[in-house]
Amino acid sequence: MVRRGVRGFAVVLVLIASVLPTTSAQATRDETAAPLPLERLFDNTAVSDDSSPAEADFDGEGASLSAQDLTAAGWTPGRALTVQGATLTWPDRAAGEPDNVRADGQSVALHGRGDALAFLVTSTSGADLTASGTVSYADGTLSPYVLTAPDWRRGPLATKAVALPHVNTPGGQLAVKARLYVVTVPVDAGRTVSSVQLPLAPDLHVFALSVRAATTGWTGSWATATSGHPAVGPWTDRTLRLVVHTSAGGPRVRLRFDNTFAAAPVRIGGATVAVQDTGAAAEGTPVRLTFGGERGVEIPAGAQAYSDPLAFDVPAGADLLVSFHLPGPVAAAPVHRLAQQRSYLSGPGDHTADGAATAYPTVLTTWPLLTGVDVAGGPGSVVLIGDSITDGERSTVDANRRWPDVLAGRLLAQSAVPHYGVLNQGIAGNNVISDRYPGDGVSTDASGVSALHRLDRDVHAQASVRTAVVFEGINDLRSGKSAQQLTAGLEEIADRAHARGLRVLVATLLPCGGAPRCTAALETERTAVNAWIRQNDAFDGVLDFDAAVRDPARPTRLLPAYDSGDHLHPGDAGLAALAESVDLTLL
């Protein structure tokens, strides 16, 4: 079922422009102020040494960030940090020196092409602060943007880049978490940015600003979403060998590691990639990866690292072994809990180059740290954001029978549409609206932050994403949310993805009669959600998964042949039926 076409970027700009006021102060700055590098505009001091807290006054009341806390997180002066695919540099300033600008319409010199501006920001307003600014392009054109920065002491931990454990004040250190955020806003990838006018919002503090490079030339082949930050091991001097299943293939590869939700850096001592033979054994000798030309990399808290492009033939629809050494100690790590795939942990030592399985006696059932495999070339990727049904709960372990895997196989086996990469961003237990994991600290719940809170990271920042598929919401209803609340959340996802120029599809919710909490009252809400999905105009198309797997004789239940046995999750046959029902031309 097709809805409307994708809204073009120019149309989005016009719509935004129609609702943004242009103030006389902005106009005056446009006419009189030449763009300057951001660091030349720094007019506020956010960071103090713990021994001299009065040397900074971040919020106008004498409070500030701790230099020692920043160092412990790996956020040291002048360090480049990659977050959501954008590289930003933490100000190269000592504690007590101006290190950020309070946004007051200043014009910032910035040059580059990409798909988004990335701001390293926070607010001292006491609440979320939304304000508007203007992007200037080298061809003389302008476009507005809207930026929302959460508060540094009250904002959501689920979306922060990093949280620091203390706030410094002249009267002593407070055990209050200080939050810093990376916020991206779309720009026209076809034009070169020449400057950015900051909003008129003095409680908005900007530490760094960059143009996020577009991922043209790369296709996402495999990805997973970080679902929590649980205790692990502890691992010291151990090698992890993770098994991942590709969708698209290509002649070069790069890997992505994320230290999401962490409070401290993690070091990867070395990494390799190989095609899997059986178990932890590789076909041939694993090939060494580098990071900025170096063998290993330290990933600051909340940041990510990409390996250098490597000439390595990645087969489509194959299992890879990604091995990386953790010199340690690592006592907690960002993980994707439900892998439905056995991976492996070595005994002591760096065994990344081992072709044999001998050094890997321990089985892992999670994917720690590794979040993406991209291949060179290809037509781009389709991202599927969902819950346990997308994650593959109750599918056969090691068999790659999740519905995204079956969909990827269908794409590879046909020629009517391009062979898109398929990125599975399902998290078992995930909600659209509410965070199951609060987004900070060592987690006991590994069902992730909400789809709304992870959308920018798990969808918008993925490599060459062109289409997003949203299949989520039954957990919201089972936890007591109403159909109206859920559809509002789904519509927000559509609106935000469309603002990035993405095509967005939505799937109907499956019946779950017979499962715990799937009551008659929930069925009424589910029916209302599906009715809205089938007739809405917020999305570009509908995948009627409900119709594909329900029992015609008892439409509140899964067809017995498709039921895994718990009445909530389809088994292998039901997951295949979902994938087979997708009209590939909608992608």
63-117 residue pLDDT tens: 999 999 999 999 999 999 999 999 999 999 999 999 999 999 999 999 999 999 9
Is residue 531 a part of any domain in this protein?
yes
Is residue 158 a part of any domain in this protein?
yes
Is residue 84 a part of any domain in this protein?
yes
- Mean pLDDT (whole number) for 563-570: 98
- Mean pLDDT (whole number) for 337-359: 98
Judged against a pLDDT cut of 50, whether residue 569 lies above it is answered with yes
Judged against a pLDDT cut of 90, whether residue 1 lies above it is answered with no
Both 557 and 584 in one domain: the answer is yes
pLDDT at 560: 98
- Mean pLDDT (whole number) for 357-367: 98
pLDDT at 20: 36
Is residue 303 a part of any domain in this protein?
yes
pLDDT at 302: 98
- Mean pLDDT (whole number) for 498-527: 97
Both 538 and 494 in one domain: the answer is yes
- What mean pLDDT is reported for the chain? 94
Contact 3, 537 (CB under 8 A): yes
Q: Which residues contact 358 (CB under 8 A, 6 or more apart)?
A: none
Is residue 188 a part of any domain in this protein?
yes
Both 427 and 563 in one domain: the answer is yes
| Angle between helix 572-580 and 403-412 (nearest 10) | 50
Both 414 and 457 in one domain: the answer is yes
**Residue 49, exposed/middle/buried by CB under 10 A (0-12, 13-18, 19+)?**
middle
Both 459 and 369 in one domain: the answer is no
Q: How many domains does the chain have?
A: 3
| Angle between helix 483-499 and 520-535 (nearest 10) | 30
Percent of the chain predicted with pLDDT > 90:
94
Lowest mean pLDDT among 18-27, 207-216, 563-572, 573-582: 18-27
Both 203 and 75 in one domain: the answer is yes
Strand 330-332 to 370-376 pairing: unpaired
Q: How many CB atoms lie within 10 A of CB 121?
A: 25
Judged against a pLDDT cut of 70, whether residue 571 lies above it is answered with yes
Both 436 and 482 in one domain: the answer is yes
Task: Measure the CA–CA gap between 209 and 384, rounded to whole angstroms.
Answer: 29
Both 204 and 308 in one domain: the answer is no
Is residue 224 a part of any domain in this protein?
no
pLDDT at 19: 31
pLDDT at 33: 74
Judged against a pLDDT cut of 90, whether residue 8 lies above it is answered with no
- The residue out of 376, 396, 417 marking a domain boundary is 376
Is residue 234 a part of any domain in this protein?
yes
Both 326 and 266 in one domain: the answer is yes
Both 401 and 277 in one domain: the answer is no
Judged against a pLDDT cut of 70, whether residue 397 lies above it is answered with yes
- Mean pLDDT (whole number) for 500-515: 97
Amino acid identity of residue 20, one-letter, is L
Q: How many CB atoms lie within 10 A of CB 492?
A: 16
- The residue out of 326, 349, 376 marking a domain boundary is 376
32: confidence class by pLDDT, cuts 50, 70, 90? low
Quote the domain boundaries for residue 513. Answer: 379-587
pLDDT at 215: 87
Is residue 220 a part of any domain in this protein?
no
Tell me the pTM.
0.94
Q: How many CB atoms lie within 10 A of CB 44?
A: 19
User: What single-letter DSSP state applies at residue 158?
Assistant: G
Burial letters 188-207, b for 16+ CB under 10 A, else e = bbeeebbbbbbbbbbbbbbb
Q: How many CB atoms lie within 10 A of CB 413?
A: 9
- The residue out of 376, 408, 438 marking a domain boundary is 376
